[in-house]
Amino acid sequence: MKKYQLGEFEEIVLLTVGVLYDNAYGVAIKDEIEKRLERKVSLGALQSALRRMETKGFLESETGEMTEKRGGKPKRFFKMTSFGRRALEYNRDVRAELWKALPDLVIEAKFV
């Protein structure tokens, strides 16, 4: 079902937005992904993914208050939509079905 299609990075970002809940803004999302996955994240790639997922309806955002610490620039906070949650559930279920379909021989095999 194409309407729920998420790339790997999009899925990770969407899950991280859920994990951070009320504190999901660009740098916090980037830091959380890097900490949990031990994977470098480009802020530009993250911002592109966030905008793309907002356009698809998986996320919604709102602007926070301006702060002096940020030079008067407000943070943009992201929240997962119910559509985004359904997309994550769909991806989880598809992967679970694929794992169940793997023959035991494949799971037990040692790969070189």
Does pLDDT of 95 surpass 70?
yes
CATH code at 48? 1.10.10.10
| Interval 27-83: pLDDT, tens | 999 999 999 999 999 999 999 999 999 999 999 999 987 777 766 788 999 999 999
Q: Could you tell me the pLDDT band of residue 112, with boundaries at 50, 70 and 90?
A: low
Task: Give the chain as a DSSP string.
Answer: -GGG---HHHHHHHHHHHHHGGG-BHHHHHHHHHHHH-----HHHHHHHHHHHHHHTSEEEEE----GGGTTPPPEEEEE-HHHHHHHHHHHHHHHHHHHHS-HHHHHPPP-
Range of the domain at 48: 2-108
Structurally, the chain folds into a number of domains equal to 1
